[in-house]
Amino acid sequence: MRLFSGFRKGNVILDTIMWIVTLFVLIIAIVYGKMIFTDINADVQADDSLNATFKASVDTLHTNYSGFFDKMFLFVLIFMIILVLVASFMVDAHPAFFIVSVILMFILIFIGALFSNMYEELPEGDNELTTAAATFPIMNFVMAHILQFIVGVAILVLITLYAKTRLQ
């Protein structure tokens, strides 16, 4: 994440924006991956020249794909929240910037609402994509409640930024 922030201290807002964008890109990649893997699995199962053991292995991988990546997404979500909180703890912010931080957090909430709406409108009109997205309950829950997650993370970031004591 520091690649985009230019190695400057105090870019917690940019880190949080990168957190939101990374989650959205990860979700899109996983859902499209499921859609592509479903097509590949159908082709493998329809091919009579392939070994039955290979077909069973591909079918097992296809069956486990949704559960594995849904749980992996939850792990990445929690890990990224911890990283954002640690990054905000490491920043030494002056209390005078609290109001600016609150205003920037409202901008983050607006960006989160945009991503939530994009995710809801993404599978419209594409039955295959809708079917693939429906197999990920954790991701669907997170994207349905992304604003609550962003508000929660924003409050935690503000607390870790401004509620620490200054040791001198």
Looking at residue 167, what is its pLDDT?
A: 54
Residues 89, 15 contacting (CB under 8 angstroms):
no
H or E stretch at 106: helix 98-121
Residue indicated by tokens 């020249």: 49
Is residue 167 domain-resident? Answer: no
Looking at residue 138, what is its pLDDT?
A: 92
Cβ neighbours around 150 below 10 Å, total: 22
Looking at residue 91, what is its pLDDT?
A: 76
pLDDT digits (tens, 9 = 90+) for 98-125: 787 778 888 888 888 888 888 888 767 7
pLDDT digits (tens, 9 = 90+) for 135-162: 999 998 988 888 888 888 888 888 888 7
- Model confidence at 166, in pLDDT bands (50, 70, 90)? low
- Model confidence at 93, in pLDDT bands (50, 70, 90)? confident
User: In the predicted model, what is the mean pLDDT of residues 13-19?
Assistant: 75
Is residue 168 domain-resident? Answer: no
Looking at residue 63, what is its pLDDT?
A: 92
Rg of the chain over Cα atoms, rounded to whole angstroms, equals 20
Is residue 41 domain-resident? Answer: yes
User: In the predicted model, what is the mean pLDDT of residues 23-28?
Assistant: 89
- For residue 69, what is the DSSP state? H
pLDDT at 70 over 70: yes
Is residue 124 domain-resident? Answer: yes
Looking at residue 14, what is its pLDDT?
A: 73
Looking at residue 7, what is its pLDDT?
A: 46
SS3 43: helix
Residue 136 sits in which domain range? 2-162
The count of domains in the chain is: 1
pLDDT at 131 over 70: yes
Is residue 100 domain-resident? Answer: yes
- Model confidence at 33, in pLDDT bands (50, 70, 90)? very high
Kindly state the tokens that stand for 138: 């954790």
